[in-house]
């Protein structure tokens, strides 16, 4: 199997989830009560229709029996027919009013839940997003947010009306007819509900399996498309299609089992309804023949049974829909209950940079306890300084950037800015004071203007163009047919690696923060392109405190200090000239790159 999907339907807390769901509706409680009032009126009108129908039949029967004159019977019948039509009209009117009133409640609640989920996802730590598959998350969220509308619809428009109608029908039968009628109806409904809930609960396993396989298939498809180039490089289209097809094959098998068991459930429900209606009508026919009730009464009883069992016929569908919706809602509730690993302290204050000094003090850190990444790392970047960190791959260089931005917290020691531990600042203000040119620059599928101005959404077009000019992008952009309105494609696929990194440089130029991290910012550039943007980088760095995580040593020869990191430990420190003179690891790396470049 490709990956593992946790069963979303285990350990559910439906009542607690419904309580939490109600908070999204409480804001519109006035509308909810008004909609429920319309629902009651609509149901009263619906139940009264058979009563009027009974009077129509009895009136016409009295005329046939000679108890009423033809004119009197006609006038009475026409009055009852008019009432019959008015009741049907009122039933439809108040039903539609209920739907119209509740529409704002339903859609605003969905809006609020969706917004809260997205906001919470942005608050969750980087480790969560690195562990989860994008396709699985998007599919679960799609089902989860839609489930809010489903639960509201099923509860307010199906379950509550059905209960109200059952109570009204039982009251009419108990008040006007022998207790045996009510007993048959109650027994039929109880057995029907018991059978439906038990059988539906058993067959839910097939739907659970369908959801699990659906998420797996979707995750595989999205993953393969996000890694389109890798699939092409290794000529593995067949491998991806085969894995995707296998998930869908298993999904279709589970779907067949789900449909077969649903058909069995539908037949069982129909059989119970048929038995109940038959017993009621046999009893009614006997009472009509003995004169205990009228012909209109048997029409009334039949109409009431039909009105009652039509929504009951949908009980299985409603129950399954509610179970699926509750299961999907459970995914979202559990997601919202997941606490971010990195949180602001209660007494955290905004960072107001007076002295942009960065200090790592005895920092220890590991992504996994058994694999330490940084070991007692200490260094300082004084205001306005440019300090570079170099070293072999896997030595922990990029981890320094993640710790500075507080994507992770240190295991011990501290990272300090402006003389205080960064955990004493709010995350938002800390990141507002930091700029970054990352190693892997990802773009939004939007225009070049949007992607550059993402660092400062309020920037003017002139400021955007100036940033592009300083990042050596202006000429490239102006030569494009769409200019700054050119869409860069999913994750910036229409741009080369060097063009994307220039865009990242333009972003940080536009943001103009007091502290900047260059995380291997020129690693995707050739030597010629590298030299053309170094001047722009240096101009930005001159006005800021800069931490440069470097791959190309030629870009950091002017650094105030260079730190050499190896296996999570700083093994050398000094200027470019000092480190070359030491003839240590830095000198070896320099010599290796000079040989490679030549």
Last residue within a domain, chosen from 282, 305, 337: 337
Residue 1 lies in a domain: no
Q: What is the DSSP string of 374-430?
A: EEEEEEEE-TT-EEEEE-STTSSHHHHHHHHTTSS--SEEEEEETTEEGGGB-HHHH
Residue 14 lies in a domain: no
Do you know the residue count of the chain? Answer: 598
The pLDDT tens digits for 307-316 are 777 777 676 6
- Are residues 538 and 400 located together in one domain of the fold? yes
The pLDDT tens digits for 580-593 are 999 889 899 888 87
* Residue 118 pLDDT greater than 60, yes or no: yes
Q: Where are the alpha helices (DSSP H) in 66-125?
A: 70-123
User: What band does 524 get if pLDDT is binned at 50, 70 and 90?
Assistant: low
Q: What is the DSSP string of 236-282?
A: -HHHHHHHHHHHHHHHHHHHHHHHHHHHHHHHHHHHHHHHHHHHHHH
Residue 175 lies in a domain: yes
Residue 503 lies in a domain: yes
* Residue 294 pLDDT greater than 80, yes or no: no
Distance (Å, rounded) from C-alpha 539 to C-alpha 506?
12
Chain mean pLDDT for the chain: 81
**Number of domains the chain is built from:** 2
Cβ atoms of 421 and 413 closer than 8 Å? no
Last residue within a domain, chosen from 303, 337, 371: 337
Q: How confident is the model at residue 376, as a pLDDT?
A: 92
Q: How confident is the model at residue 377, as a pLDDT?
A: 93
Mean pLDDT lowest for which of 1-5, 231-235, 263-267, 571-575?
Answer: 1-5
- Are residues 315 and 442 located together in one domain of the fold? no
- Are residues 319 and 368 located together in one domain of the fold? no
- Are residues 328 and 385 located together in one domain of the fold? no
The pLDDT tens digits for 144-172 are 667 777 887 787 777 888 887 788 888 88
- Residue range 182-197: mean pLDDT, rounded: 86
Residue 342 lies in a domain: no
Q: How confident is the model at residue 2, as a pLDDT?
A: 40
- Are residues 466 and 526 located together in one domain of the fold? yes
Residue 137 lies in a domain: yes
Residue 190 lies in a domain: yes
Residue burial 117-156, b: 16+ Cβ < 10 Å; e: rest: beebbeebbeeeeeeebebbbebbbebbbebbebbbbbbb
Residue 197 lies in a domain: yes
Decide which of 472 and 244 is more confident: 244
The pLDDT tens digits for 76-88 are 667 777 877 888 8
Instruction: Find the CATH number of the domain harbouring 431.
Output: 3.40.50.300
- Residue range 70-80: mean pLDDT, rounded: 67
Between the alpha carbon of residue 561 and those of residues 89, 359, 565, 579, the distances in Å are: 84, 14, 13, 10
- Residue range 4-17: mean pLDDT, rounded: 57
- Are residues 315 and 365 located together in one domain of the fold? no
Pick from 4-8, 38-42, 125-129, 315-319 the range whose average pLDDT is largest: 38-42
- Are residues 215 and 306 located together in one domain of the fold? yes
- Are residues 332 and 419 located together in one domain of the fold? no
The pLDDT tens digits for 339-356 are 888 888 889 999 998 889
- Are residues 331 and 374 located together in one domain of the fold? no
Structure tokens, 574:
């000094």
Q: How confident is the model at residue 597, as a pLDDT?
A: 59
- Are residues 221 and 321 located together in one domain of the fold? yes
The pLDDT tens digits for 528-545 are 656 656 665 666 666 789
Per the structure, the complete domain to which residue 483 belongs is given by 358-597
Q: List the one residue out of 208, 205, 215, 207 whose CA is nearest residue 1.
A: 215
User: What band does 445 get if pLDDT is binned at 50, 70 and 90?
Assistant: confident
Q: How confident is the model at residue 274, as a pLDDT?
A: 84
- Are residues 55 and 151 located together in one domain of the fold? yes
Q: How confident is the model at residue 533, as a pLDDT?
A: 60
Q: How confident is the model at residue 527, as a pLDDT?
A: 59
* Residue 487 pLDDT greater than 60, yes or no: yes
User: What band does 324 get if pLDDT is binned at 50, 70 and 90?
Assistant: confident
Instruction: Find the CATH number of the domain harbouring 305.
Output: 1.20.1560.10
- Are residues 266 and 205 located together in one domain of the fold? yes
Cβ atoms of 371 and 156 closer than 8 Å? no
* Residue 38 pLDDT greater than 70, yes or no: yes
């Amino acid at each position: 199997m490709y990956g593992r999907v946790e069963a979303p339907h285990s350990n559910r807390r439906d009542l607690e989830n419904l309580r939490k769901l109600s908070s999204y509706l409480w804001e519109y409680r006035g509308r909810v009560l008004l909609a429920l009032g319309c629902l009651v009126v609509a149901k009263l009108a619906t139940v009264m229709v058979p009563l009027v129908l009974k009077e129509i039949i009895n009136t016409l029967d009295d005329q046939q029996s000679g108890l009423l004159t033809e004119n009197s019977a006609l006038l009475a019948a026409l009055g009852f027919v008019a009432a019959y039509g008015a009741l049907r009209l009122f039933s439809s009117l108040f039903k539609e009013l209920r739907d119209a009133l509740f529409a704002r409640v339903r859609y605003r609640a969905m809006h609020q839940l969706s917004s809260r989920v997205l906001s919470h996802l942005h608050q969750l730590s980087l480790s969560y997003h690195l562990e989860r598959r994008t396709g699985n998350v998007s599919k679960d969220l799609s089902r989860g947010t839609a489930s809010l509308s489903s639960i509201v619809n099923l509860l307010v428009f199906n379950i509550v009306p059905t209960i109200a109608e059952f109570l009204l029908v039982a009251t009419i039968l108990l008040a006007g007819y022998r207790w045996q009628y009510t007993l048959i109806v109650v027994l039929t409904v109880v057995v029907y509900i018991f059978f439906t809930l038990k059988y539906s609960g058993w067959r839910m396993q097939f739907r659970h399996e369908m959801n699990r396989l659906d998420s797996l298939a979707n995750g595989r498809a999205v993953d393969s498309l996000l890694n389109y180039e890798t699939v092409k490089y290794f000529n593995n289209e067949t491998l991806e299609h085969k894995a995707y097809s296998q998930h869908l094959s298993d999904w279709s098998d589970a779907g067949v089992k789900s449909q077969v068991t649903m058909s069995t459930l539908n037949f069982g429900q129909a059989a119970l309804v048929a038995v109940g209606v038959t017993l009621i009508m046999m009893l009614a026919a006997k009472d009509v023949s003995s004169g205990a009730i009228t012909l209109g009464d048997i029409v009334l009883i039949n109409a009431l049974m039909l009105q009652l069992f039509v929504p009951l016929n949908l009980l299985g569908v409603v129950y399954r829909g509610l179970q699926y919706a509750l299961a999907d809602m459970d995914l979202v509730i559990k997601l919202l209950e997941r606490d971010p690993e990195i949180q602001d302290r209660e007494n955290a204050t905004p960072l107001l940079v007076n002295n942009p000094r960065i200090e790592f003090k005895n920092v220890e850190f590991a992504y996994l306890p058994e694999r330490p990444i940084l070991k007692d790392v200490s260094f300082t970047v004084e205001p306005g300084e440019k300090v570079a960190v170099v070293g072999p791959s896997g030595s922990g260089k990029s981890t320094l950037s993640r710790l500075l931005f507080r994507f992770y917290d240190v295991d011990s020691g501290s990272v300090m800015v402006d003389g205080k531990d960064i955990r004493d600042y709010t995350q938002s203000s800390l990141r507002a004071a930091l700029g970054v040119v990352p190693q892997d620059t990802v773009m939004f599928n939007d225009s070049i203007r949007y992607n550059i101005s993402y660092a400062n959404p309020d920037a003017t077009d002139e400021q955007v163009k100036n940033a592009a000019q300083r990042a050596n992008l202006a000429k490239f952009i102006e030569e494009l047919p769409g200019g700054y309105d050119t869409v860069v494609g999913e994750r910036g696929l229409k741009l080369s690696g060097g063009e994307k990194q220039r865009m990242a440089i333009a972003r940080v130029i536009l943001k103009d923060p007091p502290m900047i991290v260059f995380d291997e910012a020129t690693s995707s550039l050739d030597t010629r392109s590298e030299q053309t943007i170094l001047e722009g980088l240096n101009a930005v760095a001159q006005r800021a405190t800069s931490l440069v995580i470097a791959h190309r040593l030629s870009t950091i020869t002017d650094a105030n200090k260079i730190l050499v990191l190896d296996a999570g430990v700083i093994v050398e420190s000094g200027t470019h000239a000092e480190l070359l003179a030491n003839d240590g690891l830095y000198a070896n790396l320099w010599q290796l790159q000079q040989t490679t470049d030549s």
